Amino acid sequence: MTVQREIDFRDALREAMSEEMRRDKRVFLMGEEVAEYNGAYKVSRGMLEEFGPQRVIDTPISESGFAGLCIGAAMTGLRPVVEFMSWSFSLVAADPILNNAPKMLYMSGGQFGCPIVFRGNDGAGGQLGSTHSWCVEALYANVPGLKMAIPSDPYDAKGLLKTAIRDDNPVFFLESERLLSVKGPVPEAEYTIPFGQALVRRRGTDATIVSFGRPVHFCLEAAEELAKEGIDCEVIDGRTIRPLDIDTIVESVRRTSRCVVVDQSWPFASIGSEIAAQVHQRCFDDLDNHVHRVHTDDVPTPYAWELEQAYLPNARKICEAVRSVTYRQ
């Protein structure tokens, strides 16, 4: 019997980058502490030794500067991977990454593309405070011209990142610090995962739960708890926000007639809001209840551990939401 290997989420990310750098000499990694320190979260461990300082490049604490530099490199034929130590820090690079990279192909009349990946930790990492705990997906996904992926396990982390590096468009790749040590099966053989292809993590008949990234694990936990009450939930991992695989979500909701969307960002003008709107538009006659959304609370991220846990989406909140749409309290 073949035993499938299991590796950490962070190791899956490193394998994806290393394999693509071996495959394509135009690919390089740049960011704070990615080289000499092996990455702030050890994602790039050993890459400096293999690829050298011209392809694994440490930077000053200047996100706007190195993001802009890499956009220029992408426009002239290279394929940079930019690591933000935290997506919270990307806010100081908002002009180059939002006002330049996604618009370059359009504004140049097709003369200059921007094949670049921006990646790093998104969301609350554990008592990092309000300014270091941003979930940027709703803020950034609003901009046309970019793609966005949010993996929830090591298999997807590797497959989606390899796809991102090969893509000719700017890709925003959002990881969770809380998932970096999570282990999961990852094949040694070559594979990629297409963007815009959601995955049904659990089949069910009574309600559809849609999420992406770390909250997918909370959804699966909630589904197991609800199964004890006789509520059979289908759990869909969206994988990518742009493009969004709304067809898989709609097909599921038309069967279950109920939908809960779980989103780790704030509720107002969120990805959860967009998914709910599209489901209502396409499944109006199929729904037995409104689409219920579960988000972080609409307040700045608390520092205190207990408050932070209460603020985030969790299995208890998801169970309450599913019970509310299935009329089982």
> Which run of H or E residues covers position 63?
helix 63-75
- Residue 171 DSSP one-character state: E
Instruction: Say which of 132, 225, 251, 320 is annotated catalytic.
Output: 132
Tell me whether residue 292 is one of the annotated catalytic residues.
no
Q: Distance between CA 202 and CA 209 in Å, rounded?
A: 10
Q: Which two tokens stand for residue 170?
A: 């700017």
Instruction: Say which of 15, 20, 32, 63 is annotated catalytic.
Output: 63
Q: Distance between CA 180 and CA 123 in Å, rounded?
A: 13
How deeply is 92 buried, as exposed, middle or buried, from its count of CB atoms within 10 A (0-12, 13-18, 19+)?
middle
Tell me whether residue 63 is one of the annotated catalytic residues.
yes
SS3 195: coil
Strand (E) positions, 212-327? Answer: 233-237, 240-242, 259-262, 292-294
Give me the amino acid identity at 193: I
Q: Distance between CA 234 and CA 222 in Å, rounded?
A: 11
Q: Active-site residue numbers?
A: 63, 132
